[in-house]
Amino acid sequence: MTANSTTRTAPPAATVATPDTEVETDVATESRTHYQPPYHVILLNDDDHSYVYVVVMLKELFGHPHEKGYQLAKTVDSEGRAVVLTTSREHAELKQEQIHAYGPDPSIPRCAGSMSAVIEPSE
C-alpha cells in the first residue's frame, strides 16, 4: 500500500455490557427506520348532535374548513361513520380522545355528552 491510498474501514462497533455478557453490536444497524402504519380516525353517527356541532368540532379539532366539515357531517349522517383523519396511531388516539372530550351539543337539550369515534388501521 502506498502513502496516497485510502483505506476504508467498517463503522465502529459499540460494546454493550450486561451483567453476564458483553455483546458487540454494529452501530450502523442500530438506527433503523421503523414504518408506522397509518390509522383512520372514524367519527360515528348518533341522533344527539347537530350538523353545526359537527362542523364546528371538526374545524376546532382538525382544522377542517366549513365545507369539508359539512360534507363529513353529511357522510356521518347518511352512512353512520366518516373518516375524519388518517395519521399515525399515536396521533389518531389523541384525536379520538379529543372528540370524546369535546362535550355535549348545547343546541340539543337531550344531548348528554360528546360524539363517539374509533380508530382503525387504514390498510
- Strand ranges, E, within 48-102: 81-87
Has domain 39-121 been given CATH number 3.30.1390.10? yes
| Pairwise CA distance, residues 7 & 72, whole Å | 61
How does pLDDT run along the chain (123 residues), one tens digit per residue?
Answer: 445 545 555 555 555 555 555 555 555 555 667 788 999 999 999 989 999 999 999 999 999 999 999 999 999 999 999 999 999 999 999 999 999 999 999 999 999 999 999 999 997
- Report whether 117 contacts 99 (CB < 8 A): yes
What tens digit of pLDDT does each residue of 30-63 get?
Answer: 566 778 899 999 999 998 999 999 999 999 999 9
For residue 28, which of 53, 46, 11 has the smallest C-alpha distance?
Answer: 11
User: What pLDDT does 4 receive?
Assistant: 52
Return the domain boundaries, the chain. 39-121
- Report whether 105 contacts 51 (CB < 8 A): no
Q: Which three cell numbers stand for residue 62?
A: 382538525
Q: Which three cell numbers stand for residue 111?
A: 344531548
Residues 6+ apart with CB under 8 A from 62: 84, 85, 95
